[in-house]
Amino acid sequence: MLKFILSKRAPEEIEVLFDESGAQSLKEYIDWVLKSRDHMHLVIDGEIDPISPPPIEGANVFHAKHVRLEYVKSG
């Protein structure tokens, strides 16, 4: 399980939720981006687990449907 949760009250805040499998997958995605010095798109129903239960109208949080991981050369 891998999910990215955002807060409507604090849009600059992101929570990353994962289990053992999700942690391993996220590590593999980051390793691939680092090795290739490229980027990768994580999408819902692909790399990001589907929303469950469905978001409630007016809820304070929502699930990210797309996350981009990108390598950026420092210095």
pLDDT tens digits for range 6-15: 888 888 889 9
Q: Give the CA distances from residue 65 to residues 8, 43, 53, 73, in Å, rounded to whole numbers and listed in that order.
A: 15, 6, 14, 26
The reported pLDDT for the residue numbered 58 is: 62
Q: Evaluate whether residue 18 is within a structural domain.
A: yes
Q: Evaluate whether residue 42 is within a structural domain.
A: yes
Higher-scoring residue by pLDDT: 60, 41: 41
pTM for the model stands at 0.84
Q: Evaluate whether residue 20 is within a structural domain.
A: yes
Q: Which residue has the tokens 């692909």?
A: 46
State the residue range of the domain holding 39: 2-70
Q: Evaluate whether residue 55 is within a structural domain.
A: yes
Q: Evaluate whether residue 41 is within a structural domain.
A: yes
- Count Cβ atoms within 10 A of the Cβ of residue 48 and give its class: 0-12 exposed, 13-18 middle, 19 or more buried: buried
Instruction: List, in order, residues 6 or more apart from 41 with CB less than 8 Å away.
Output: 66, 67, 68, 69
Number of domains the chain contains: 1
Q: Evaluate whether residue 29 is within a structural domain.
A: yes
Q: Evaluate whether residue 75 is within a structural domain.
A: no
